[in-house]
């Protein structure tokens, strides 16, 4: 099939992240299976999206910096009736972390979250008390790559209040308690291709940090998915990622249960090099959906 592999205009923000290498690996494998694959920048107005059988979102990593433009692009694809994977409605829903509220209402255990709507003021004392924590993680509701993410303790929260008030004037944020399990045990990522479990990695932050992103020095280790965590992730994908070519379920184990941090359905790094059969599963999932 004729495929547009959707990427972004490189601006150097994610140097070392391996995005280009994973895209190249996937492109090479799909081409070896007889597909025609063309890398297209989602924000390029000259692209004729109707010329492709499927528009496959892979690495539009700057979408959260240009969210209104991104939404308008999704509207265009929908109007043109282009086949998009993952589906446009799912991508819209997943672009704003308010989707976590939907999942919590449906019974999914998420990290306790307080929503900070645009135009509100940052009140650290109240947040520390409400979330019963000595360390807050504060981040935008629409974001990626740890952009504008703060780790705050009571002693230093006041020094960032002005910064956060300024950011809150422009967009929604959320506050969550820091989970020490991220540093002591790591964060699990379970990857699903074509709706089926593919592989799993355990991510750990570098010493002294709390962010597990690989482009920020986090470690990645392929691991078998523990059965109880796999069961929880299977249920999440079955309920919230229907019709999706790919999904990444990120979470931590807390008191023996899986606690969801993110359900990544737009531009997740899929750690395809961590399992030699992952590209094959990706292609099989693509064929099953198109």
Co-location of 120 and 74 in the same domain:
no
Of 247 and 216, the one with more pLDDT:
247
Number of independent structural domains in the chain: 3
CA distance linking residue 167 with residue 275, whole number of Å: 40
What is the helix, strand, coil percentage profile of the chain, to 5?
Answer: 35, 25, 40
Mean pLDDT of 71-100: 97
Read off the pLDDT band of 212 (50, 70, 90).
very low
Co-location of 242 and 103 in the same domain:
yes
* pLDDT confidence of residue 17: 54
3-state secondary structure of 132: coil
Centre a 10 Å sphere on the Cβ of residue 113 and count the other Cβ atoms it contains. 17
CATH, residue 31: 3.40.50.20
Read off the pLDDT band of 207 (50, 70, 90).
low
Q: How much of the chain exceeds pLDDT 90, in percent?
A: 85
CA distance linking residue 97 with residue 131, whole number of Å: 18
pTM for the model stands at 0.91
109 touches 123 (CB < 8 A): no
| Average pLDDT of the chain to the nearest whole number | 92
* pLDDT confidence of residue 228: 96
- Report CA-CA distances (Å) from 231 to 226, 234, 236: 9, 5, 9
* Helix ranges (DSSP H) in the chain: 19-32, 67-79, 88-94, 99-105, 124-131, 154-157, 161-168, 181-184, 227-240, 278-289
Co-location of 103 and 221 in the same domain:
yes
Co-location of 17 and 74 in the same domain:
yes
* pLDDT confidence of residue 183: 84
CA dihedral 140, 142, 148, 154 (to 10 degrees): 20
Centre a 10 Å sphere on the Cβ of residue 231 and count the other Cβ atoms it contains. 11
Co-location of 205 and 105 in the same domain:
yes
Domain of 242 in residue numbering reads as 99-109+181-276
Q: What's the pLDDT tens digit per position in 273-284?
A: 999 999 999 999
For residue 180, give both structure tokens.
Answer: 């020490």
Mean pLDDT of 241-257: 96
Q: Is residue 54, in this structure, part of any structural domain at all?
A: yes
Q: Which of 31-35, 59-63, 234-238 has the lowest mean pLDDT?
A: 59-63
- Residue 125 scores a pLDDT above 60: yes
* pLDDT confidence of residue 217: 47
Co-location of 137 and 151 in the same domain:
yes
């Amino acid at each position: 099939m004729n495929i547009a592999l959707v990427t972004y205009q490189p601006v150097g923000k994610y140097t070392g992240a391996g995005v280009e290498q994973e895209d190249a690996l996937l492109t090479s494998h799909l081409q070896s299976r007889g597909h025609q694959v063309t890398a297209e920048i989602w924000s390029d107005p000259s692209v004729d999206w109707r010329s492709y059988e499927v528009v496959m979102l892979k690495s539009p990593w700057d979408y959260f910096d240009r969210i209104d433009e991104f939404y308008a692009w999704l509207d265009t694809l929908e109007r043109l009736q282009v086949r998009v994977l993952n589906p446009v409605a799912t991508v819209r829903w997943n672009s704003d972390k308010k989707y976590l509220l939907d999942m919590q209402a449906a019974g999914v255990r998420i990290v306790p979250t307080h929503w900070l709507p645009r135009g509100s003021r940052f009140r650290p004392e109240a947040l520390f008390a409400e979330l019963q924590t000595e360390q807050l993680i504060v981040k935008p509701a629409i974001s990626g790559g740890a952009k504008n993410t703060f780790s705050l303790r009571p002693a230093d929260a006041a020094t960032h209040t002005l910064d956060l008030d300024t950011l809150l004037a422009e967009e929604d944020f959320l506050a969550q308690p820091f989970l020490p399990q991220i540093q002591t045990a790591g964060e699990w990522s379970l990857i699903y291709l074509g709706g089926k479990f593919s592989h799993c990695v355990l991510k750990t932050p570098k010493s002294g940090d709390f962010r597990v992103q690989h482009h920020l020095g986090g470690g990645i280790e392929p691991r078998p998915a523990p059965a109880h965590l796999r069961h929880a992730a299977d249920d999440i994908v079955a309920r919230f990622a229907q019709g999706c070519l790919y999904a990444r379920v990120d979470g931590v184990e807390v008191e023996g249960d899986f606690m969801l941090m993110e359900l990544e359905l737009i531009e997740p790094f899929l750690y395809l090099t961590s399992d030699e059969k992952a590209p094959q599963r990706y292609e099989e999932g693509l064929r099953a959906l198109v």
